[in-house]
Structure 1
Amino acid sequence: MRVDGIKWISSFPENIKSGIPRASAVLVLNDYDTGYPFACLESSIISAARTAASAALATDWLTRERVKPRRLGFVGAGLIARHIHTYLVAAGWDFEEVGVYDLSAENAAAFRSYLAAGEASVRVSVRQDAEDLVRSSDLVVFATVAAQPHVRDPRWFAHNPLVLNVSLRDLAPEVLLESANVLDDVEHCLKAGTSPHLTEQLTGSRDFVDGTLADVMAGSVRVPADRPVVFSPFGLGVLDLAVGKSVYDRVRADGDLRVVEDFFHELDRYGVPGHTGGPSS
């Protein structure tokens, strides 16, 4: 797409106590040939859309040789969970039941009301704990702000669900070692105290990693039907650039760009005679 850039995410979990989303984000797009920035976008929704699209894509590819999930469960009832649900529905998934669990009963109830309003024919319930949620779901989505593992018992996953490990730090190594593990990118995932990183530290190897989603799509990795499957997406910034460039192109085509005139203070390499320069306004 001939674009460079950078995404800056500011994640403050305490924000939710004030009724505002956990994360804010800015995306800067740079010209591929000159490096000059040509767009600055609010990016929390771009990032959420990229996360949700990745989750929906993984759900499609990782269930092609397995029984299709009919019971969807969310651990965590925030913005990311909502976007993942939206993308799954948009991709054509039809679930018989949706379960919700959150440490905040208020948040769980609010998410349940949101889901129930949009899917009158689907049974939506709030689960009492994470174990109940996991055991009653064929597709489990972890979308929390957990900083360290709190799900440790592999027996919760004895029914071999597909697990979207979106928040990356909910599952203990014991769970991953009993599962097939698919990542979006190995080097990205095996750092920063993620569940795969902790598993690597515990075992001293990466043998527990079956491959990447790209490997599955290319046919070089087969997804087993007789084990839980855990998809751990660290999140690839290059995908945010792709989504951001698509948004920019659409806004530009619609004539809705808001241009900051004279953003670049001085573009002449040696300056203009008689101009003293100075800081950019």
Structure 2
Amino acid sequence: MNKSNFLYLSSSEVHSVLEDDYQLVLDSVEDSIKMMNEGTTIQPDKNSQIFDTTYQNRINCMSATLRKTDTCGMKWVSVFPENKKKGIENVEGFVLLSEINTGKLKCAMNATELTSLRTAGVGAVAAKYLAKKNSETIGFIGAGEEAKAHFKLIKFINKNIKRCFVSSRTCNSVKQFIDEFQKKYPDVVFVDCGNNFENAVKSADIIVTAISSQEQVLKAKWIKEGALYIHVAGIEDEYAVAKKASKIVCDCWECVKHRSQTIVQMYKDGELTDNDIYADIAKIITGEKAGRESDAEFIYFNSVGLAVEDILFANRIYERAIKLGAGQWIEK
């Protein structure tokens, strides 16, 4: 690397370098969580500037240092749910990577796809450790890009998935989801549930809510025994869902509790305490705490998204791009 230049990777270049390597995504998520658990990272609190409370249109600044890779990075990501009505992407992100020996910038990359895959990667890692081993059904409330990413990564990690129930507020997005996947995954039966959320989740071993609104759409009475619920974004479920859970697991409860998800609202309302959180996923990955202990447990997984995950994933994309000669070198 010429320290007077930095590598720029566009969205198409990032996609080309990744080549649907889902194992890279999953390994990056797990490895970064382990690094955080062992204390070899620095991760300041996420800075989130929310421009309205109704739709949670916001820009997040997420930074982290990974001492094992001599890398410090920052992700700048906008999340504007209302953009869908304007026909433009609702998530756009960029990552900057610097090495920590001299502080020189080494890479800037489009992180829109990275963000989507990393988010789904966390859910897939949760499914690896917390879902029933014989899970065959998955149900979605929400059928957009994040739901699609979750399906791809969870199916990659759990080849037993045989039936996928899909619902959304807009029936057209359900059709698009199914049209995209039914040829790619001929071993899976896709069921169009339209906007009937109950039908999408009542038979599901794994439930994913990937919606852009701030509504309590998931009801506790719909959830069957032994399910895993993967909570992706903000307010997606009623309080009774978490109260029904045998275990509540987070990617990082101390990070989650300063955000706005359902269990955070419960915490603020006195409906949930620190003691109600069973574990952070790191403790389960490392074997310090048990994951699923019976097929009867209903487990609730909540992630907020950690900068360490983004930065390690981005750094591995950068390293692969160097090997492949991808990207454009830009003079500082």
TM-score bracket, normalised by the shorter chain, equals 0.7 to 0.9
1:181 alignment partner in structure 2: 248
Find 2:320's aligned residue among 250, 265, 269.
250
User: What residue is the counterpart of 2:72 in the other structure?
Assistant: 4
% of aligned pairs identical? 20
Pairing partner for 2:275 from 207, 210, 223: 207
Q: Map residues 99-118 of structure 1 onto 2, 5 A cutoff.
A: 99-118=165-184
Deviations 1:160-199 (A, max 9, x none): 3111111242022221011121000011111222112012
Q: Distance in 1 between matches of 2:266 and 2:277?
A: 10
Is residue 2:118 matched to residue 1:16?
Answer: no
| Equivalent-residue separation in structure 1 for 2:101 and 2:298 (angstroms) | 45
CA distance in 1, matches of 2:304, 2:272: 20
Partner of 1:73: 139
CA offset at residue 209 of structure 1?
A: 0.7
On the 8 A contact 1:29/1:40 being kept in 2, the answer is yes
Aligned-partner Cα distance in 1 for 2:202–2:293: 19
CA offset digits 1:202-243 (Å, max 9, x no partner): 326222211111111222333343331111111111111001
Change (3 A) 1:117 1:237: same
Distance 1:87 1:117 in 2: 17
Q: 1:97 aligns with which of 158, 163, 187?
A: 163
Specify the alignment match of 1:138 in structure 2: 205
| Long gaps (5+) in structure 2 | 1-68
Separation (CA, whole Å) in 1 of partners of 2:275 and 2:239: 13
Q: Could you tell me how far apart the structure 1 residues matched to 2:274 and 2:179 are?
A: 41
Residue of structure 2 equivalent to 1:191: 258
Distance 1:92 1:71 in 2: 10
Does residue 27 of the first structure (1) align with residue 95 of the second (2)?
Answer: yes
| Larger RCO: 1 or 2 (CA < 8 Å, sep 6+) | 2
Q: 1:36 aligns with which of 96, 100, 104?
A: 104
1:229 aligns with 2:299: yes
Aligned mates of 2:212, 2:278 — CA distance in 1: 26
Asked if residue 162 in structure 1 is aligned to residue 228 in structure 2, the reply is yes
Q: Is the 8 A contact 1:178 1:227 kept in 2?
A: no
Residue pair 2:135, 2:160 contacting (<8 A) in 1 also: no
Aligned to 2:113: 45
Aligned to 1:121: 187
CA RMSD in angstroms, aligned pairs only: 1.7
Normalised by the length of structure 1, the TM-score is 0.86
Structure 1 residue runs of 4 or more that deviate by more than 4 Å after TM superposition: none
Give the greater-gyration-radius structure (CA): 1
Question: Which residue does 1:83 correspond to in 2?
Answer: 149
Aligned residue identity for 1:135: K
Q: What is the distance in 1 between the residues matched to 2:134 and 2:213?
A: 28
**Amino acid in structure 2 at the alignment position of 1:258:** Q
Aligned to 2:103, the other structure's residue is in SS state: coil
Task: Confirm or deny: 8 A CA contact 2:134 2:160 kept in the other structure.
Answer: no
Q: Residue 259 of structure 1: SS of its match in structure 2?
A: strand
Contact 2:126 2:301 in 1 (8 A): yes
The residue matched to 1:26 in structure 2 has which SS? strand
Rounded to whole Å, the distance in 2 between the matches of 1:218 and 1:87 is 21
